[in-house]
Structures are given as C-alpha cells and as structure tokens.
Copies of this chain bind each other. A is one copy, B any other.
Amino acid sequence: MSANAREDILAAAKLVAQAHGYAGLNFRDLAEQVGIKAASIYYHFPSKAELATAVAKRYWEDAAAYLESLLQNSPKPLDALRRYPETFRWALENDNRICLCSFMSAQFDDLPDVVKTEVQAFTDVNVAWLRKTLVAAKVASPKEAEKRARAIYSGIVGAQLMARSRADISLYDSLIDGYRAAGLLPA
C-alpha cells in the first residue's frame, strides 16, 4: 500500500471491475487490498456509484491519452491502426480480464446513470480516434469512417469477450486475424 489511499482504491477497483464488473465491486475485498477497512472507503468516495464513476472516468482519460500518443509516435496512421487491437489484448493478458466498459455495458440495467455516462465516454473516445485514424490512413473516406470505426470497435469488443469465455488469448489473435482476412481491419 502506498501513501495515497484514494489512488490505491482507484487502481484496485479498476482491476476488480474488469474481472467482476460493477456488481462484483465489493468494498470489503477492495479495502483489504488497500489495507484499510471497508467503511473507510466511504471517506474517499461517497458511494459505490461515485467510486465507479471515478474509475470509469480515469479509464477513458487514460485510454484517450494512450491513443493520442500511439498516433503521434507511429510513423504512419496506418501503423497506429494496425496496433489498435493490442490495446484490448492487454486486459486478456492481465489474468483474462476484459475492458471495464464492456463489462459495464453488459450490466447496463444495474448501472447508476452517472456511471453510464462515463462508460459511454470510453466508447466515444475509441470510436472518435478510430474514425480520425481511418481517414488519416486513407482506409475509409470521411463519409464512411464513422460507421467503419464503430464496426471495428464492436468487433474488437466481441473478440475480447469471446476470448475471455474460453480463457484463450490465442483465440483473440485468431479473431483479429479473421477480421483482417474478412476486410474489417486493414491487413
């Protein structure tokens, strides 16, 4: 445990949410990981909804920052595009977790509205980046890019979910290959 309980809670909660979702976020286990008591979490976050909101907000902010740096540091936009599926591979590598946003999308009915907003922001960030990069890489025309970006995003989300259900990361790679072969992703 570090000197900053709030940051420790956020970090631990992110991992729990990626493995067990919103319903699986439990304050007793979370507190134990951080080294405080469950009730103490409520000093830092007024409710489970607020904690989940903070986690999801941090999550899309980090994603946005990473995607920008990926684009900046790639020789060509097409290179960044080719590496996009990697970002969703990491969760699977990390103990067969999935995207926090995907898990919470499944639990949509049980999500407080404030959390829904942040979960949707993650999708928006990804789709906007894909649209921009598809156009820059001349893979799609400005007119087609939005639809193509959404199709790529949902395809990758589905691949991650399916790979999790088999606890098989090679299945993820195979599905991404399948998208390339079929023409959804650039070769």
Binding site for B on A (CB under 8 A): 19-21, 23-24, 96, 98, 101-110, 116, 119-120, 123, 144, 147-148, 150-151, 153-159, 161-162, 164-167, 171, 174-175, 177-179, 181-184
- The oligomer's copy count stands at 2
A106 touches B110 (CB 8 A): no
Q: Which among B19, B24, B106, B144 is the interface contact of A103 at CB below 8 angstroms?
A: B106
Q: Which among B123, B148, B158, B167 is the interface contact of A165 at CB below 8 angstroms?
A: B123
From DSSP, what is the main secondary structure of chain A's interface residues? helix
A158 touches B164 (CB 8 A): no
Q: Which among B21, B110, B161 is the interface contact of A154 at CB below 8 angstroms?
A: B161
Given A108-B165, A144-B181, A150-B174, 5 new contacts (CB under 8 A): A105-B162, A120-B165, A151-B159, A154-B175, A158-B161
Complex interface: chain B residues within 8 A of A179 (CB) = 151, 155, 184
The 4 closest A-B pairs by CB, nearest first: A158-B158, A151-B178, A183-B183, A105-B165
A133 CB to closest chain B CB, in angstroms? 15
